[in-house]
Amino acid sequence: MKSIKFITVNNPEKGSEELFNIVEKALDNKELHSIGLATGGTMIPVYKKWVESDLDFSNVTTFNLDEYVGIGVDNPNGYGYFMYEHLFNEKKFKKINLLDGLAEDSEKECDRFEKELLENPLDIQILGVGENGHIAFNEPGTPFDSVTHVATLTPSTLDVNSRFFQEGEAVPNTALTMGIKSILRAKQIVLLAYGERKRAAIEKLAADKVDPKWPITKLLEHDNVIVITDLEI
């Protein structure tokens, strides 16, 4: 597991500091032109730290990992909305690339996004991980050679994500997502994982064996991965 560097921190705030240092160094060295961004509670302290800093992203292009089908950027349940609320309204970027959950043709939207990714190779991809080992919305069993596509979400993912929706609101069961191959093209990958619910996925990664049932394990084949976690493995 030579390609995986584990950084153990006491809490998510310390993890946010570690990621901040990585991003700051890349910016200072003029090595950050394109970055892949994640959403969710794990990312809130990360983006708060960026917003409160003097980091200059004006020459950086962004790509978000995923978006629910049927949800637009003005929907509070959407990931585009999350990004504007926590980062994009406060920090200027060269270009923001979001997947359009309201696109008339989801397949064409995925093709458009993948083309943009190929034209703007990611210098850093930030990831979270699901309890079942999914990265972005690449659920267990997703082909490792997948590019940006429409994914069907598993019941366990729907159950976990339902806490972000109002009572009675249905969680969309499909989403547009970067594929595993798309993610692994990034020059560097930084994965954040906190709490006991993520232990099984991180332990699978630490077991040093690629397993299609655990998409996170495909990161073992990348040559520059940092995992920031509060779990002792």
Catalytic residues: 66, 132, 134, 139
Helix, strand, coil distribution of the chain in percent, nearest 5: 35, 20, 45
Which residues are 100's β-sheet partners? none
* Residue carrying the six token digits 């050679």: 145
Give CA angle at 195 (42, 88), nearest 5°.
0
How many Cα atoms occupy the beta-carbon half-sphere of 174 within 13 Å?
Answer: 11
Q: What is the DSSP letter of 211?
A: B
